[in-house]
Amino acid sequence: MRIRDWPIDQRPRERLLAGGAAGLSDAELLAVLLRTGRAGKHAVELARELLVESGGLRALIDARHPLQAAGLGPAKRAQLQAAVELARRSLREELCSRDTLASPATVREFLSLWLRDRSREIFAVMFLDAQNRLIAAEELFRGTLTQTAVYPREVARRALELDSAALILAHNHPSGVAEPSMADRALTQALKSALSQLDLPVLDHLIVAGNRCFSFAEAGLL
């Protein structure tokens, strides 16, 4: 049966418009973006098939690992990439207009969309103004699968260039393990000490690993 023949209150697009996106499954949200299925499969069935074949939503939207799945050509893959980037930019705009400490969930969502699918470690910094609003979010260092060389002097230099008043540090763990290593703990303390001499407080250091996000501040490690 085609989706257009379903009862209105069961159709993904109509459910999204009536109650918001949060109530839809990954397959239903993907079906809204795909719009159409293929011969013998409606869009929701195709979406489920694609999610199984790819190993999940994260792998599916990662254009660096192309699938050969029928029904997901370059145009639809571009739509998925655009949707993710729009979500990230929307969160960034929100952080630019409000105190980041008042919206920790938004910070986590932003960093997750930004860093979680990277195949190498990325060290990034969110530079904040005196009201803890986002000035800029930048990748400062790139590393290997397991480590990144980070230079406190470069972090401080960029903070001063942007006239930043505080910072939130972040990096990803491609391994999927969110807990900080001893090197992560030592780096955090080194950065905190170096930046404090310039009156630049480090408000948090977050590690993005898959769907998890570890906060040094929440764990009492900062």
3-class SS string, the chain: CCHHHCCHHHCHHHHHHHHCHHHCCHHHHHHHHHCCCECCECHHHHHHHHHHHHCCHHHHHCCCCCCCCCCCCHHHHHHHHHHHHHHHHHHHHHHHHCCHHHCHHHHHHHHHHHHCCCCCCEEEEEEECCCCCEEEEEEEEECCCCCCCCCHHHHHHHHHHCCCCEEEEEEECCCCCCCCCHHHHHHHHHHHHHHHCCCCCEEEEEEEECCEEEECCCCCCC
Q: Can you give the pLDDT at residue 23?
A: 80
211 shares a domain with 145:
yes
129 shares a domain with 65:
no
149 shares a domain with 109:
yes
pTM: 0.76
161 shares a domain with 201:
yes
Q: Can you give the pLDDT at residue 1?
A: 61
Is 79 within the bounds of a domain? Answer: no
47 shares a domain with 107:
no
Is 92 within the bounds of a domain? Answer: no
Q: Can you give the pLDDT at residue 196?
A: 95
- Select from 22, 54, 72 the last residue of a domain: 72
184 shares a domain with 110:
yes
Is 80 within the bounds of a domain? Answer: no
Residue 7 reports pLDDT greater than 70: yes
135 shares a domain with 39:
no
Is 48 within the bounds of a domain? Answer: yes
63 shares a domain with 104:
no
105 shares a domain with 12:
no
129 shares a domain with 55:
no
191 shares a domain with 103:
yes
Question: Residue 119 is part of a domain; what is its CATH number?
Answer: 3.40.140.10
Percent of the chain with pLDDT over 70: 89
Q: Can you give the pLDDT at residue 31?
A: 83
Residue 120 reports pLDDT greater than 60: yes
pLDDT band at 39 (very low <50, low <70, confident <90, very high): low
Number of domains forming the structure of the chain: 2
